[in-house]
């Protein structure tokens, strides 16, 4: 069964620091990886996707993919209190769906 593993946290970082969120996945054949941000009481919001090995940067966010080691990570530079949320990692399932991790709760302290 395809699975995604994430540290549930909470991960606490000071404002301005780099937050590093990690995720491992079970299916070596997966090609598409996603990071969603979910604020408390809200629905998940797609913030990054990555398909190729290496880094992909978008503003303060960098997604890193290592298919050989089956992990994907999300770096948030210059963390802000507004980044405090649960971050969900997901990868493609075989049923046209996304398989989600349980999420890592990030808290950015002012």
Residues that bind another protein (CB under 8 A): 32, 34, 36, 42-46, 49, 88, 90, 92-93, 95-103
Other beta carbons within 10 Å of 12: 13
CB 89 within 8 A of CB 33: yes
Any idea what the Cα angle at residue 24 is, between residues 69 and 40, rounded to 5°? 155
Taking the complex as a whole, how short is the minimal distance between the CB of residue 71 and another protein, in angstroms? 18
User: Least distance in Å: CB of 8 to another protein?
Assistant: 10
| Alpha-carbon gap, residue 105 to 93, rounded angstroms | 23
Which residue lies nearer to another protein by CB, 65 or 79? 65
Instruction: Please say which residue, 102 or 109, places its beta carbon nearer to another protein.
Output: 102
Q: Which is nearer to another protein, 16 or 59 (CB)?
A: 59
């Amino acid at each position: 069964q395809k699975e995604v593993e994430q540290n549930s946290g909470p991960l606490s970082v000071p404002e301005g620091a780099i937050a590093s969120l990690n995720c491992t996945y079970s299916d070596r054949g997966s090609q598409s990886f996603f990071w969603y941000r979910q604020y408390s009481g809200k629905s998940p919001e797609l913030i990054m996707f990555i398909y190729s090995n290496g880094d992909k940067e978008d503003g303060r966010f960098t997604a890193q993919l290592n298919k050989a080691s089956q992990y994907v990570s999300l770096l948030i530079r210059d963390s802000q209190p507004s980044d405090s949320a649960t971050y969900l990692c997901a990868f493609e399932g075989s049923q046209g769906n996304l398989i989600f991790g349980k999420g890592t709760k990030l808290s950015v302290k002012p």
